Structure 1
Amino acid sequence: MIEWEPNKNDANLNIPVDGQVASICWDEQTKLLTMSLAYSAVYGMGERYNGLNQNDRIVKIEVEEKFCNQGDKSYCPSPFFFTDTGFSFCTLSGGTLIFDFTQKSVITVHAPGNCKFIFNAGTPEKLISEYMSLSGPAILPPDWVFGPWISANHWNTQKETEKQIELLKKYQFPATVLVLEAWSDEATFYIFNGAKYKERPNGAPFAVDDFDYSESAYWPNPQEMIEKLHKAGLHLVLWQVPVYKQQGDDEIRNHQNDLNREDAVKRSLCIHNLDGTPYKIPEGHWFPGSMIPDFTNPETCKTWFGKRQYLLDMGVDGFKTDGGEFVCTDEVSFYDGSTGKESRNCYPQQYTKAYTKFLGDNHVLFSRAGYMGQHTTPCHWGGDQQSTNDELRHVLSAGLSAALSGILFWGFDLAGFAGPLPTLDLYRRATMLACFTPIMQWHSEPDGGQFKELMPGGEGNNERSPWNMAAVYNSPKFVTEMRFWHWLRMNLRPYLMATAFRCAAEKVPMMRPLVYEWPRDKAARQVEDEFLLGDAILVAPLLEENQTAREVYLPEGEWYAFFTGKCYHGCQTISTTADMKFPVFIRGGYAVPLHADSMDSLGNPVSQNLNSKLILLVAGAAGKSTFTTNKSVLTCEWKNKKVRVEGTGAETVQIHHFC
């Protein structure tokens, strides 16, 4: 890894890369960095919805909010890329960057002045890991994150929220996380809607006992609700947005919000324009007229989280940190002395970093926006998508490019959350894919649509729950079909948790496009719609309507169809068949721990106690796998028919051998 500051060093640099020399030149007058080297593919740069390989494109590195069909925009960009020839670049600047990959054997970068550039060479695994190391250690989410998540915007009362416990029980579905978006007063975003309280001026914090819910029609006893959720195995995550909100003329005035805004101005808790006035989100953006907190100011953090500590004291398990794409100009200043020119992209990462520090261990943060260092935020989701097949392909590209940018734990709103309800077939295929991604979640926009005039949703109940989908389409068997994939997710949890532990410890993405593992394989480099989940599972999503089979490229080695056990040799493209259920393969020489009674019982209800009923699915004639979590270590080694298992619970493990 080479760190280079051209204003302090020579304006030219040569770097050996894979049998060639990359020639680097900086032009101080035009602020243009030119890199001359041979390459045919380029990866990284954060979530990219328009494809994995960004060669022949101009890529803007700027945090931008875009509702659905993001195209070349990104909520979560990264100032990092690497090529198929093993060369990587990043800059520590938080300003807007323009990467130009349209010139053969030449890459140019428009960057602010006084930048530090970092160059490296090696395999994708090495380049991504060392890029991540620049920002600190990765955060490992709690184990319960790896079960199914449920969410719907119209759950805006305690009665409706507690109803979900009964519906899960009625339909025999598992879930480990419930997300509430419409829970707050929609002004302060930290007070339950309908609660009575004594107003707090001057940034004074709230406590659990400061609220009276007795007359609330929305949340009469949130403490009791949280206890019920926990008893049902559900962890509660509450929606957040970083604004001192400018309320509209049609909204009921919230005096506590007015006090918060006055305090933010008085004590300079918000981001400012260069002339010293408070910066306000411009018209045409989400929350126009609102000020935004400056999380580089310790006093801002103290005040902001002092208002939210009582939520953790009540038992809230985490926050969904939406928004953050609110710095829309270079002409702003932060408490730490930086301006938008150097750090406008850094704001969402400052935001999530502050929340992550506040939450501490055993809680989770689920974020949409970010920048360099996203792995120091526990989890991300892929933003807003419509319920269309095109958007399913878009969000898969986003997840895979995010992985090649060092984002470890990522998920998406399966089958989209916006617009008319998905078809049953789209929902089916999206559920299959979500089952094999780090975070599995269904979510829905408000009834009628998020932006009714722009993109109306379905009439009446717009919820994307499996049972509501079945009811809308009058297809009761669909509930049974979707139940299988939710319980399969629970079967996979031991593998997911052990994989997550290794990913955080070693800075390894959980989803890995084929180019990550096989960068020298030209056929693998062409594949943008397959990925490894951890070391052992290859996933080939079904992305077309009514698609039940597809062509799948299998890299070198042996591969065993997960649902049939049939063996396929690698370095070839095969045609899958509908009897495979979903194109998923186990890699020869690896094992997969499953929480189940037997292989025949996969997809059926199983106890959430992970200390029993463990199956090791062993693939290939010989191999070795070690599974480490916070609580245990289990090692499996085998050759031919002889399998040896050592470690925690080894005496109760059942072996199922694909060979």
Structure 2
Amino acid sequence: MIFEKIKEQEYQKRIPLVNGLHAQIRRTEAEKLVIDIPYQGVYGLGEKFDAVNQKGKTVETQVIEKFCNQGNISYCVTPFFVTDSGLGIYFNTRKKTVISLQDEIICEIPKEAEVTVFTGSIGEIIQDYVGLFQKPKLPPRYAFGIWVSANHWNCEADVDRLLAELEEYRFPASVIVLEAWSDEATFYIWNGAEYKPEKSKEGFSYEDFDFSNSPYWKDPKGMIERLHEKGKKLVLWQIPVFKGMEPDRTSEQLDLDKEYAIEHGLAVLNKDGTPYEIPEGNWFEGSYIPDFTNEKTREFWFRKRQYLTDMGVDGFKTDGGEFIYSKDVIFSDGTDGEEGKNQYCQDYINAYSHFITEDQVLFSRAGYAGASGTPILWAGDHQSTNDELKNALRAALSSAMSGILFWSFDIGGFAGALPSLDLYRRSTQMAVFTPVMQWHSEPDGGQFRELMPGAEDNNERSPWNIAMAYNKPEFIEEMRYWHMLREALLPYIYESAQTAVRESRPMMRPLVFDYQADRAVTDIEDEYLFGDSLLVAPFMEEDQTSRKVYLPEGKWHDLFTGKCYEGKKWHESDRKSRLPVYIKADAMIPVDHNGKTIMVKGDDTKDIF
């Protein structure tokens, strides 16, 4: 429950917690909050790649973009944390906070920040925290199917080839993501389209474009119709910039859009009234930034993109947003750069969230307080290494403890050399038991090839390309099994998604969320609950075929062998099992079996999977 909101600059109170414990909270200086509390675990603060339990660390709540190996920084932060002893704290501020999580918790906060204090179980506290913001949206059912993506798909022929390969290799897919679809200037016009540029707040209609001479997209509307006929949805990549173009490229429409934006105050500004530009050396350097706090900006931005949804586009991959590098900028609503560094990405995602319908979807990298209301979050850029797989799992579980209900990552990583067969296998296995299962890859040769070269000829992370790269055609069939398992689990997954929204309980969460009183789970960061009935212990080490697994109270059945295990004990997983996944002995879950939804219980699943 919400125990209290602290607005006073001077405050001191002893607060009762669960199990007869107490916390002493002091705000004796306006910019410092001190908490004396017994605790072993502290969680939240956003999508953390370095650890789920942040005890012993000092955390700065600052949105920062970094290409791979993020360490202790994050694209998505939240000024909220919860302890295993039943205390939650939320700082209602857009500015950076610095939180030292030692035996005594010391928080450096803006003097004007209101502090919300929560008490109760971890689940109750996170539910109440999520309730401070807009109600989380339930993604459409298709969003829980399999997503496929590769940056090098940049023409209609690539999409047709993908569809043929999905059929040839008999792999299911629900969502196709196109990143390199646009003119790479306006980011709302299909590449190769011919049209008459206009300086206006009005948008184009599909009929304004001539694709007859395009080497890329001959009939994108017809292509979308074909995708829909095959049960596939289309998501297009987006970035919040008025782009600073490369010296050897021009775009008349972009120039007109930038002129209009300057004349009508649609961009984030410097204090002298000139448009703020992303500094040199950063992603999209020299670009202006649309000011989404301005209603006129939102109107302009989405009128330009309305024709995309009118022609059947099913959603957007809302990348980036970590673009405020200066404190000396101003927004239409009075926000300055110190606040905007965190808030901008969430304003951007909020704007798209209001633009789309309930049948459409967002897939976003960055976020701030309130990100729970704008699903889906994905973990961003990761190198194809085993350490990055571990980072991704920590990111998933810390996101859950920050109120993020739906999360995803790129199977096997998306950057650098192709993943090994072993890494790809273990990533795929884990991805089956995440809210959204997706494979994706950076441009051929690598996005930043001088820093981290990728595969030159074909960087695609499709199962068949991985198999061919290692001359292991049998790997395709092995991966097909896991993709088909995902499809079989969709009734359970969607039911779990509905529960997540109804009860503000993340689909994928650490054991401490549900078993707070069990001290054995405080620091378990490589197991998790998936929905209310499954416990997943993925293989996180190279060439691993068995591992130690802790099972909480109750009885559990191995999902693949049916073997029963007693809870509140450590076990060695069964080498005969495909993966350490366990179902509660008393659970009944819906699964798809031969095209029909049936209910199965723990000791029956071995006959299905």
1:152 maps to 150
Bigger shift: 78-87 or 10-19? 10-19
Per-residue deviation, 1:555? 0.3
2:24 maps to 23
Distance of 1:28 and 1:277 partners within structure 2? 38
Matched, 1:34 2:31: no
2:472 maps to 475
Per-residue deviation, 1:446? 0.4
- Unpaired stretches in structure 2, ≥5 consecutive residues: none
Q: Is the 8 A contact 1:511 1:533 kept in 2?
A: yes
Q: Is the 8 A contact 1:112 1:342 kept in 2?
A: no
Aligned AA for 2:23?
A: A
How many residue pairs were aligned? 606
- Unpaired stretches in structure 1, ≥5 consecutive residues: 598-606, 608-612, 621-653
Q: Which has the higher contact order (CA 8 A, sep 6+)?
A: 2
Per-residue deviation, 1:28? 4.2
The Cα RMSD (Å) is 1.5
Matched, 1:74 2:74: yes
Per-residue deviation, 1:656? 8.8
Per the normalisation by structure 2, the TM-score is 0.97
Structure 2 residue corresponding to 1:321, chosen from 302, 305, 318: 318
Distance of 2:118 and 2:460 partners within structure 1? 47
1:43 maps to 43
Structure 1 residue corresponding to 2:181, chosen from 183, 189, 192: 183
Q: Is the 8 A contact 1:618 1:657 kept in 2?
A: no
Distance of 2:431 and 2:9 partners within structure 1? 48
Aligned AA for 2:89?
A: F
1:56 maps to 56
Q: Is the 8 A contact 1:616 1:655 kept in 2?
A: no
5 Å-filtered alignment, 1:547-626, equals: 547-597=544-594, 607=595, 613-619=596-602
- After TM superposition, the runs of 4+ consecutive aligned structure 1 residues lying more than 3 A away are 2-6, 8-11, 654-658
Q: Is the 8 A contact 2:21 2:85 kept in 1?
A: no
Aligned AA for 2:91?
A: T
Structure 2 residue corresponding to 1:394, chosen from 386, 391, 396: 391
Distance of 2:514 and 2:581 partners within structure 1? 17
Distance of 1:313 and 1:399 partners within structure 2? 34
Q: Is the 8 A contact 1:168 1:174 kept in 2?
A: yes
Structure 1 residue corresponding to 2:499, chosen from 502, 509, 516: 502
Distance of 1:546 and 1:89 partners within structure 2? 41
Q: Is the 8 A contact 2:9 2:29 kept in 1?
A: no
Q: Is the 8 A contact 2:560 2:605 kept in 1?
A: no
Distance of 1:329 and 1:575 partners within structure 2? 52
Matched, 1:335 2:332: yes
Q: Kindly provide the CA deviation profile for residues 354-398 of structure 1, in whole angstroms up to 9, marking residues without a partner as x.
A: 101101210000000001111211211111101110000000000
Where 1:22 maps in the other structure, the secondary structure is: strand
Where 2:321 maps in the other structure, the secondary structure is: coil
Where 1:592 maps in the other structure, the secondary structure is: strand
Aligned AA for 1:26?
A: R
Distance of 2:164 and 2:543 partners within structure 1? 32
Bigger shift: 19-28 or 492-501? 19-28
Distance of 1:307 and 1:13 partners within structure 2? 53
5 Å-filtered alignment, 1:214-613, equals: 214-250=212-248, 252-597=249-594, 607=595, 613=596
Distance of 1:498 and 1:154 partners within structure 2? 34
Q: Is the 8 A contact 2:95 2:342 kept in 1?
A: yes
Distance of 1:591 and 1:210 partners within structure 2? 54
Question: % of aligned pairs identical?
Answer: 49
Per the normalisation by structure 1, the TM-score is 0.90
Where 2:191 maps in the other structure, the secondary structure is: coil
Distance of 2:414 and 2:487 partners within structure 1? 23
Per-residue deviation, 1:40? 1.9
Q: Is the 8 A contact 1:3 1:116 kept in 2?
A: no
Aligned AA for 1:296?
A: T
Distance of 2:163 and 2:227 partners within structure 1? 7
Q: Is the 8 A contact 1:559 1:569 kept in 2?
A: yes
Distance of 2:432 and 2:332 partners within structure 1? 43
Per-residue deviation, 1:112? 1.7
1:4 maps to 5
Q: Is the 8 A contact 1:513 1:532 kept in 2?
A: yes
Distance of 2:523 and 2:166 partners within structure 1? 41
Per-residue deviation, 1:3? 4.1
Aligned AA for 1:336?
A: D
Aligned AA for 2:72?
A: D
